[in-house]
Structure 1
């Protein structure tokens, strides 16, 4: 792995950041600034997340860790995380508009796909057809320079095979829309912007109508879409809450399988190190998305792991290129890094947030740390995973985790003046869907036309 790739990998939501600095363009602060930070014993915190600790799934799974959720969803969640924390240019996607006020505003608008647009990021677009995004010469990979470094809007999307191949699918989505708009004889000067808007709206639709209901429940999703967020509002000082970035939205680490079948001939293998990115994707490593998400006419896909407090071996012993530490040490454990981040930014306990939200806190038996010698209340990240396991059998987030994730994602989309929720709340997807009125991620990853 090159020094460039190693640096991006270490920065990829794994290494602690300065809490007073902008992170990938977004400003971070607490959602519950009236709650005290949980000050946990450092040694006890390390004991939770290190190899062999309660966060280590181990090699003997015991009970079946598979959920009903398809394997793709934690990777789509990661794709969204990169998008809303993108390093946003003051010019945005239109180089002729000084959108200075929107600088660092978190948005779900596929900036990792579009960069600063055909004028600001011309290396992402066709020389002879700048309305279309580039792919590799084979069409199966993102474009790369002669050293294999991805030429994409956000280098974090090349961290492993699933995110880079998902980016390929969204590039194809945009290019399909360009062709459709030209078939409809839209003026050429308007084609790129119309395709960008349509791709972004289809993506936002998937987030709000498919991803969120599965993750936080249909009832809470409907409440947020009908009434809007009550806790999280983007105002004149836009931000991303620490409780979201460093606890609730890290639920996805617990959904990662120990092994994945990538296509008919490649796999099963772990995400790390086997699916590490930052290099060209050979043809025999391309992702068969029908193995990762349920597609009509195909056998059921692999499932994600149930959400609980245990992470699979590849995340408990991250490669040195990712963590900067030797596998088997405390800081090579992603669980330990998640716990340490919560401590570093001063997150409140899970019990304190539950009380603040007016929901019953988990019992000591449900948290399950008494036998580990843990004293006091529970780190928020660990609590949210236990909440999902205790209340929903690991199939979705509970009331604390679900409320934080739902409020932030709906709030970000609602605050975007270009989102479909702002421009045309009645809008529905226009691309073909396998199920009438139910366009979803499968239609992006495995298009039917």
Structure 2
């Protein structure tokens, strides 16, 4: 049996960048793989299972809301994932790690946005002003959509950023952000020959700042981020040559799947929908579906945004029953479930159990009762993906990741920045954001959206 490496419409997988492929690796190469039964994964991840929010909470958000993290941050997390990873492989059990290829640079450099630049990917840029991105026009003539070809396919650096409406609109916000930075630089008198490169640098650095100073503290907790920034890495042995650990890409960083709400309000028109199929992408965005970002992020002076779902062992039912347009034709009905796919991915790549990694970190593992699978008759150790979700739920009430999941996520993202010779943390360790924001010397996702004039 094989399974796609990520949830992306099959016709989009071949459209991913064919740049020089990077490599995946392991953070815990000496730890044994979890041995488990695939039938157990099928039972755990299928519709109606313990991982289906419809079976555990009746499909409502209710007390599963996490007001600490606004609803837009899991989508921003997906945007980050598409910036640093793209694996087009179909995995078989016990896949050979050296055969996996990452078709993204393992850097937070926004190559999913910029592609190869105006010369290498001219279709992404405005022919009348090559310093700027091309924007799309919607049904009422507003530039509130991605540029598209006559068949509705988005002209973007990574087709996965059009897989659903919310990430499509976030990608558009970044395009607009870049274009407004170009305007700002011209107003500052920057020579025309330097505008594009300087705009790209500023966009990248402000994006990196948001990852370090907003996204990570929300996702893993400020204490853990401060510890790594102060004391350095413990478990990510990249030795100057960064790679994407499978413990990160195929388990820990998938925590965002648990944060997706069952239902979203999109804007003031009252438009609502779940991620799939209501907000499925790869088609033009009509004016009444344009995202109002105040529903997704805390924008000063605006309404309180929707909360993300707490991080726990359940996923929204719309992710447990993905449409064929997203997953393609499958051999088993369970392969429509993102939960099953996440679990299967870990098994195929021989990931250690959550308890094994916890012990290796010197962290007290969750008990069988805390994991909660013994009531299903399972007495073995826990798949890493499930363990990380449960760790967040048990140890931090689902507000952010626990020590195992949080450290894997934070160490990898910070290491990717520190190993990138073009990042702000390498070029100028004293740098603080220079674009105008709500607070001098800081820059948030809300500042980015307001600067881009999308909020």
Deviating more after overlay: 374-383 vs 317-326: 317-326
Residue matched to 2:348: 344
1:411 paired to 2:410 = no
8 Å contact from structure 1 (residues 433, 448) kept in 2: no
Listed as ranges, the matches of 1:18-167 within 5 Å are 25-58=21-54, 60-61=58-59, 64-68=63-67, 69-85=69-85, 105-137=105-137, 138-167=142-171
Listed as ranges, the matches of 1:205-220 within 5 Å are 205-220=209-224
8 Å contact from structure 2 (residues 10, 328) kept in 1: no
Change (3 A) 1:351 1:172: same
Distance in 1 between the 2:367 and 2:52 partners?
Answer: 22
Residue matched to 2:98: none
TM-score (norm 1): 0.89
Distance in 1 between the 2:22 and 2:145 partners?
Answer: 28
Residue matched to 1:99: none
8 Å contact from structure 1 (residues 51, 328) kept in 2: no
Deviating more after overlay: 406-415 vs 132-141: 132-141
Residue matched to 1:305: 309
Distance in 2 between the 1:408 and 1:302 partners?
Answer: 28
Residue matched to 2:256: 252
1:138-186 Cα offsets, whole Å, 9 max, x none, are 3101111111111111111111111111111111111111111111111
State the Cα distance separating 1:438 from its structure 2 match.
3.4
Residue matched to 2:9: 6
Identify unmatched segments of 5+ residues in structure 1.
14-21, 88-101
Change (3 A) 1:61 1:283: closer
Distance in 2 between the 1:390 and 1:368 partners?
Answer: 10
Residue matched to 1:16: none
Aligned residues: CA RMSD: 2.3
1:34-81 Cα offsets, whole Å, 9 max, x none, are 001001111111111111111111161576110021000110000000
Listed as ranges, the matches of 1:370-389 within 5 Å are 370-389=374-393
Identify unmatched segments of 5+ residues in structure 2.
1-7, 88-101
State the Cα distance separating 1:31 from its structure 2 match.
1.2
Listed as ranges, the matches of 1:283-362 within 5 Å are 283-325=287-329, 329-362=333-366
TM-score (norm 2): 0.88
Distance in 1 between the 2:36 and 2:361 partners?
Answer: 22
Q: Which has the higher strand share?
A: 2
Runs of 4+ residues deviating >6 angstroms: 10-13
Aligned residue pairs total 423
Distance in 2 between the 1:326 and 1:344 partners?
Answer: 17
